[in-house]
Amino acid sequence: MLKGSITALVTPFGKDGVDEKAFQSFVAWQIDEGSHAVAPCGTTGEAPTLSHEEHRRVIALCVEVAKGRVPVLAGTGSNSTEEAISLTRHAKEAGADAALLVAPYYNKPTQEGLFRHFEAVAKAVDIPIVVYNIPGRSVIDISIETMARLAKIPNVIGVKDATADLVRPLKTRVALGADFVQLSGEDATVTAFLAQGGVGCISVTANVAPRLCAQLHESWAKGDLKTCFAIRDRLMPLHDAMFCETNPVPAKYAVSLLGRCRPGVRLPLVELAEGSKRKVEAAMAGLGLI
């Protein structure tokens, strides 16, 4: 169900909150450009600064546009287990195909605490769950041993791995088997991740170059490595630019250059610095995007 290029969607803002029209237009464009799935309300969607009402609304808006054409992987994670259950319940009710739950941040649970957190959500809501392992933001790393325990829960189907450890997907594949869905959370290492057992990428760069990102995965699936590696190399400057400052600030500026949203982000994130703007512009121009 989940594979290929999955866009971690930005959330456009207007003067009065979420720009619903721009968001739905953006989701439709992503699907038309070939994205294989979409992921609203993740880090790139500024979920930490969305109100609960906005969070739920964004997921519902996304599902409304996708209409079964591509899967919707809704971000529903929290460092509060009860809050994660509530958001995940809503995602299922709204019609999302799966839920993406980040490792609880700030409160630093043990491996046992991590297991019980995800177990509680999985037992409370009958929806496919992808566990999001991102030590750079959550401080904690979900071990392969803990992931193996979680994989025994029927609706825990996979992981978004943002560790940038390219040994991890192979060890996970050996330990958990090929059916456990492994999605990269690092654009720049995606082809290596695929070679090590991954099946897709939840991508920031796909916000800006969805067609190229989709074509990379499609050429990989066909065994057309020449095309895949050529696209990989072309995309590298854009990957760099997307992370020249904290995600999603560069991505949102880039999407604004495409005329698809305003560049504004919510505090404590701030506007992209002028030098970073030039870097984003140069990377986009190099790909003929602007």
Mean per-residue pLDDT, 267-287: 98
Half-sphere exposure of 125 (CA within 13 A, CB side): 31
Mean per-residue pLDDT, 258-279: 97
Residues in the chain: 290
Please check whether residue 242 lies inside any domain of the structure.
Answer: no
Q: What is the pLDDT of residue 1?
A: 80
User: Could you identify the residue written with the tokens 């490792």?
Assistant: 103
Please check whether residue 251 lies inside any domain of the structure.
Answer: no
For the chain, how big is the Rg over CA atoms in Å?
18
Please check whether residue 13 lies inside any domain of the structure.
Answer: yes
Please check whether residue 237 lies inside any domain of the structure.
Answer: no
- List the CATH number of the domain containing 103: 3.20.20.70
Q: Which amino acid is at 258?
A: L
Please check whether residue 93 lies inside any domain of the structure.
Answer: yes
Give me the percent of the chain exceeding a pLDDT of 90.
99
First-to-last C-alpha distance (Å) of the chain: 33
- State pTM to two decimals: 0.97
Side by side, the strands of the sheet bearing 4-8 are 37-39, 4-8, 200-203, 181-184, 156-161, 129-133, 98-102, 73-75
Q: What is the pLDDT of residue 109?
A: 97
Tell me: pLDDT of 73 over 90: yes
User: Could you identify the residue written with the tokens 């993406």?
Assistant: 100
Mean per-residue pLDDT, 93-98: 98
Six-digit token string for 184: 């990269």
Is there a contact between 96 and 63 (Cβ–Cβ < 8 Å)?
Answer: yes
Domain that holds residue 105: 4-209
Residues 226-251 have pLDDT tens digits of 999 999 999 999 999 999 999 999 99
Enzyme catalytic residues? 132, 160
Please check whether residue 252 lies inside any domain of the structure.
Answer: no
What does pLDDT average to over the chain? 97
Please check whether residue 215 lies inside any domain of the structure.
Answer: no
Helix orientation angle between 210-222 and 225-242, rounded to the nearest 10 degrees: 150
Is there a contact between 259 and 253 (Cβ–Cβ < 8 Å)?
Answer: no
Residues 119-177 have pLDDT tens digits of 999 999 999 999 999 999 999 999 999 999 999 999 999 999 999 999 999 999 999 99
Six-digit token string for 218: 């499609």
Domain count, the chain: 1
Tell me: pLDDT of 280 over 90: yes
Please check whether residue 281 lies inside any domain of the structure.
Answer: no
